Chains A and B, each alone.
Chain A
């Protein structure tokens, strides 16, 4: 074990297949031995069958696709709100010491509240439709956007800022044309973190208060002890979360390519 025996790609492939096979056989084994009643532990293929049937047959009001659409819409609103407020505020904080001093203590004290703890207020203030969940997503997605924008912008060389000011750039132009482009790589990295947190906060919010969405579907499945529905929900959430991350990673690559040119 001390020697790092490097494996060739064929071996890696073989072991990977072995790993998946191991995982599936433990799962099937548990089902076959009836460790728990079937209701609590469906076998892998049964989950997949359920997943595909949920795509067409509505459960608790909507089909899986409709649930996904309603979750994703909420996610998009909350995420965009976090971007629209987080980026300008981060730039402003990097530019002006006073704004920084004003916002930082407030922000630091709020950051320690887990986003999910906003659920009761969110529901009380904005209801359980779109407004409430959007607030929860915002609370999850906002801090990384703000912090990364700020960090990206604060490291801009003083010389550039002074040069721009000398050439007569006002504050707004300074923010838009100097600080923002410089902070882009850091901002995009922050967006990936914030999308992950936002997506996960949304699921939490939907588990607690919502009347549609993937999280809601899972709670309904849980209440009627339909483990296959709960697991289908988990798979759907995983896939969408992954898709969001891959999308943002592509943007990240595009941005760095563009900057090289």
Chain B
């Protein structure tokens, strides 16, 4: 099945047996400065930390922008100028500023995750219609419970779809950043394997990237269900 692509010479295309052997090598003996679980922990750890910080900041800013037109008017132009720059384009800047270590990766993931969380939260807050808002005000809710019981629950579905986009963007960006330069992490497996012309190991790296990405998305979907019990139908 893997050999039908005649245009690519067979030794550059991994066979299932090779892939299995590479998987065993990396899991048991290690490859490119670490064993598989070390690479995975490194990548997932970085994404989790940076994603959480960025999503928290993004959702907060989105709520403020949505609730207050002045903040929106001030922040929006800055946002519109920076938004067209894809997160991956921040990688060289992050490396110049922070080097090849973890802090540069945290910076690019932060940039990647920030934009979708802000935009979706903002849209979600704005989706509250006037009737609902006036009803809440008429019932005399305090400012605090207006936020926690009216605005945020209304925005919740969109906040979560923003978080999903953020998470995907974070993951892609991290892999790219690790491909550009890293000692440990899934991207560095890919990089090392590419330099060694080891197609089977590349495939192992890609599969690890896919599986971890999928697991994190599933986890977020689970959290989403947990956070919005009223959406069970």
Contact = CB atoms under 8 A, between A and B. Distances in A.
B179 A119 contact: yes
A114 B175 contact: yes
Interface of A: 1-2, 4-7, 11-12, 14-16, 18-20, 22-23, 36, 40, 109, 112-121, 123-125, 196, 199-201, 203-204, 207-208, 215, 218-219, 221-222, 225, 227, 230-231, 233-235, 237-239, 241-242, 245
Contacts of B73: 7, 11-12, 14-16, 19
Contact of B89 (A15, A118, A218): A218
Interface string B82-95: 10111111111101
A201 to B, nearest CB: 8
Interface stretch (B21-29, B191-199, B222-230): B191-199
Contact of B69 (A7, A124, A245): A7
A196 B68 CA distance: 30
Contacts of A22: 74, 78
Nearest to A199: B86
A113 B74 contact: no
B185 to A, nearest CB: 12
B20 interface: no
B105 to A, nearest CB: 14
B156 to A, nearest CB: 19
Given A12-B73, A120-B191, A114 B209 contact: yes
Contacts, number: 158
A120 B190 contact: yes
Contact of A2 (B89, B143, B172, B197): B143
B79 to A, nearest CB: 9
Interface in B158-174: 171-172
Contacts of A218: 89, 92
Contacts of B171: 114
B6 interface: no
Given A116-B176, A203-B86, A222-B92, A124 B202 contact: yes
A22 B75 CA distance: 10
Contacts of A234: 85, 89-90, 93
Most buried by B among A4, A16, A19: A19
B74 A207 contact: no
B52 interface: no
Given A120-B194, A123-B194, A238-B85, A225 B96 contact: yes
A114 B93 contact: no
Interface of B: 8, 12, 67-70, 73-78, 81-82, 84-93, 95-97, 133, 137, 143, 146, 171-172, 175-176, 179-180, 187, 190-191, 193-194, 197, 199, 202, 205-207, 209-211, 213-214, 217
Given A113-B210, A120-B202, A15 B74 contact: yes
A222 B96 contact: yes
Given A20-B78, A40-B97, A238-B84, A203 B175 contact: no
Nearest to A7: B69
A4 B69 contact: yes
A219 B67 CA distance: 40
Given A114-B171, A201-B88, A234-B89, 14 more contacts: A4-B67, A7-B69, A19-B73, A22-B78, A36-B97, A40-B97, A117-B205, A117-B206, A120-B190, A120-B194, A207-B91, A207-B92, A222-B92, A231-B93
Given A109-B210, A237-B86, A121 B199 contact: yes
